[in-house]
Chains A and B, each alone.
Chain A
Amino acid sequence: MSEAPLVEMTGITKEFPGVKALSNVDFRLERGEVHVLFGENGAGKSTLISILSGVYRPTSGTVRIEGKDVEFRSVQEARDSGIGTVFQEFSLVPTLSVFENVHLGKEPRRGLLVDRRAMARSTETLFRDLGFDIDIRTPVARLSRAQQQMVEIAKALQARARVLILDEPTASLTEKETEKLFSFIRHARDSGVGIIYISHRIQEFAEIADQISVLRDGRMIGTVAAKEVSEKTLVELMTGRAIDKVYPQIRRQPDGETLLSLEGIHAGGVNGVDIDVRAGEVLGVAGLVGSGKSRVWRSVLGLQPLKAGSVTMRGRDVTGQPTRRLLRSGIFYLPPDRKSEGLLLAASARDNIRLSLLERRDLAGLLGMPSPARSRAEADAIGARVDLAPSALPRAVATLSGGNQQKVLFGKGFGEERLVYIFDEPTVGVDMGTRSQLYLLIRDLAEAGKAVVVISSDLPEVMNLSHRLLVFSGGRISAELAGADISEGTVLRHFFNETRIPA
């Protein structure tokens, strides 16, 4: 009773330029408990654990470990205080071997030199204890994502962590591997380690969680005991509203024309895929990271080499055409990473939208060059259509919130009439309010008779928006679901199935 909690964070606020990622968050973790952090993408979970693990420093607020005030200036300092973190973006160096990675930053030494034999030996012992079957001398680049995940966990444990932070650890694991991880987590918990577990998979919580804390839009909504809460309550806590208010009803146009047709697509990570994209329909694409769900489209669009297969657009063969020709013939592609592939970060929101208007003849002025006044007016009109506040238009995109950045990115799709809209992770890192606005844009497109493809790692999103849902696994389509067949259980089952099962 009198003992101070293992971790106590009070009044944590973190501001980034233009965004308040966390405001006044309290969080506590006891010894020997598994504490789940739950919330939307962009709700602040990652920021919170980044502060605890020394990646960021809070703008205000205090962190206490076993009652003592601490202020971590680096990951190393947090590690030294017994905080081991398994990051979602792995902290592994692909060119180094497994055992070098496990000890990276804390290499054992004998005199001046690194004791490589001790490194290898202790890694071997650790892997044996954990039941991981990985050759410790292979470079990490050769491992599968699940194996990399295991190395990442082993690395956190090697540092003798008292607090273990797992950020979406099961996102790329199979059921069997997940089971192994869970039994290991229970084992660690029973020995007194406090575990912070971040996940989207509600169905896992019953099996593993003691406490669940829910974050929404940077605020702590509340902490509940896992045994006393239903899935439905959790989702409502997370989104702040009932599910049916978030996702709009989208009318489906019956027997829409096939606008884009892929046949026998082979590419890096894609092993033979046929897809028909039809007008007036939302086609959802789900799958794990590395399942090929995004790479199919990227290879069709010429963003990565297409090895075999044919692509037809309204009956015309467009296989292997350069990206710009494909886009000009009526495809819009919304890239998954807006910062690296989508936006000119230093340019204003307006100028980003104007980039998509350069080809518009009707906006041309003298000598056929784009007229500044007309294209500006058009850009502003598009800004209004995607619900960007007029005050946001002249600001550099880098200073806007994630939600507003995503609106700019959507806006680039409305400059010209297109036939096929491919949205790759349309709402990554976007708050709930903005998401429902973006969903309405998607609805409008589909109901106007366009073909819409939504590729997403966010299962509820892709399930609720799609008329037809393709599930990818191992570079193939493992299931095609429609209407009432689209349920979380079915979809998850097909995540790990490599052979296609007619559903």
Chain B
Amino acid sequence: MGSPDVMNGSSPLSRRFTVTEAARTLFLKVGVLPFFLVGALIIFSLVSGNFLSVQNLTNVARQSVYLILVSLGQMIVLITGGFDLAVGTAIALTSVVSALAMVALAAAMPEYVWLAIILGCLAGLGAALAIGCLNGIGVAQFGVSPFIMTLGVQSVGAGTALFLTGGVPVSRLPYAFGNVFGFGRVFGMPVPVIIAVVAIIAIWLVMNRTRLGAHIYAVGGNTKAAHLSGVNTKRVLFLAYVICALLASLAGLLLTARVESGETNLGGSVALESIAACVIAGVSLRGGIGRVESVVLGAFFIVLVQNGMNIAQIGSYLQMVLLGSLLILAVIFDQFRYRMLVGRA
């Protein structure tokens, strides 16, 4: 540092060195998300000046509530070393069941609209609970691979939802439901955002400050070791799928309120999107690794990219192509990261 000519000679080089070094450390620590996020922000703000406006970003934040909720559940399951392809079905079934129940109850007792809404929501949550229990029992008790189990349940749930409605959307929900949970605001904050914030805090506490959370990480990190340490691994796996389904169900209720009808096609692509959000946010597909705050950002990133592509007028078919590619790319980077991590140890 002392002699000036040495500094002049080496400073550009050493600065470049420290930048790549810092990027490397960041990549090892957080994964690919920061790089993707910066890339997306640069590209889309070049495409449109509107992209970085406060209004657009608030909009993205509000739209990403649903994916954030589902991704949090997906994260929990991924950390145990599995995954859940049935999150979309949990949303669809929640939507249909809660809507049917609400319409029927509101017709039966028009003077107690809020009771009908609450019972309807509970019915929707109950339906998703059944999905989660099914997944949990299959994976934890019978040892079915998560891929097959949730793929099967996904079909079971989707079929049930279509069967219940005959494929027709359930309309004429109580006005108050959509008005509060879809479009309502409290202290200027949209209700879905408030609910998402509460859910994020709750899940953060569960994962970082409770026994269940510690055990979820342990089961994913090394199931056998967790078992030998006296962790009830079956119970942990079961609960992971149940929590995942319930979080998806919560997203389903909010979406139903937003579109003001019970729809079987809600959440069609959410399984892919939520897994992508998690992987990009550094959740390891090998289990054991993943952070709540990163996953929230990961889900936000996915919605941001979709929003950017809409602004850039990229068609929805092409968007599917890009989203799938992004997921694969993130997994490839995850492999590199894993190798770098292991290589250093």
Q: Interface of A with B (CB < 8 Å)? A: 55, 74-76, 79, 85, 87, 89-96, 100-101, 104-107, 109, 112-114, 116, 141-142, 155, 268
Contact = CB atoms under 8 A, between A and B. Distances in A.
Contacts of B224: 89, 91
Nearest to B289: A95
Interface stretch (B95-103, B116-124, B137-145, B225-233): B225-233
Interface stretch (B40-48, B210-218, B321-329): B210-218
B222 A94 contact: yes
A95 B210 contact: no
Contact of B221 (A94, A105, A116): A94
B225 A100 contact: no
A291 B165 CA distance: 65
Interface string B222-247: 10111111111000000000000000
A217 B120 CA distance: 64
B9 to A, nearest CB: 32
Nearest to A119: B214
A92 B225 contact: yes
A112 B210 contact: yes
Interface string B181-220: 0000000000000000000000001000111011101101
Nearest to A93: B221
A298 to B, nearest CB: 15
Contacts, number: 78
Given A95-B289, A114-B209, A90 B230 contact: no
Given A100-B214, A109-B211, A95 B221 contact: yes
B259 to A, nearest CB: 36
Contact of B228 (A91, A109, A116): A91
Given A75-B228, A95-B221, A106-B230, 18 more contacts: A55-B228, A75-B227, A75-B229, A76-B230, A76-B232, A91-B228, A91-B229, A92-B225, A93-B221, A94-B221, A95-B222, A104-B214, A104-B215, A104-B218, A104-B229, A104-B230, A105-B215, A105-B231
28 contacts: A76-B230, A87-B228, A89-B224, A91-B224, A91-B228, A91-B229, A92-B222, A92-B225, A93-B222, A93-B225, A93-B288, A94-B221, A95-B220, A100-B214, A100-B218, A101-B229, A104-B218, A104-B225, A104-B231, A105-B215, A105-B229, A107-B211, A113-B205, A113-B209, A114-B210, A141-B345, A142-B345, A155-B229
Given A74-B230, A141-B345, A91 B210 contact: no
Given A114-B209, A114-B210, A141-B345, A96 B229 contact: no
Given A90-B225, A93-B225, A96-B218, A75 B211 contact: no
Contacts of A90: 225
Contacts of B209: 113-114, 116
Lowest 3 A-B CB distances belong to which pairs? Answer: A76-B230, A91-B228, A105-B230
B228 A96 contact: no
Contacts of A141: 345
Contacts of B217: 93, 95-96, 100
Given A75-B229, A93-B225, A95-B221, A107 B214 contact: yes
B288 A95 contact: yes
B343 interface: yes
Contacts of A155: 229
A109 B289 CA distance: 23
B210 A104 contact: no
A55 B213 CA distance: 24
A104 B226 CA distance: 8
B292 to A, nearest CB: 15
A268 B343 contact: yes
Contacts of A91: 224-226, 228-229
A112 B214 CA distance: 13
A90 B224 CA distance: 9
Nearest to A92: B225
A104 B211 CA distance: 9
A156 B226 CA distance: 14
Interface in B64-99: none
A79 B214 CA distance: 19
Contact of B230 (A79, A113, A114): A79
A211 to B, nearest CB: 26
A95 B211 CA distance: 16
Contacts of B222: 92-95
Contacts of B213: 114
Interface string B333-345: 0000000000101
Contacts of B210: 112-114
Q: Of B211, B214, B229, B345, which is in contact with the most chain A CB atoms at under 10 Å from its CB?
A: B229
A93 B230 CA distance: 13
A90 B228 CA distance: 9
Nearest to A90: B225
A67 to B, nearest CB: 24
Contacts of B232: 74, 76
Contacts of B229: 75, 91, 93, 101, 104-105, 155
A107 B221 CA distance: 17
A113 B206 CA distance: 8
A423 B209 CA distance: 48
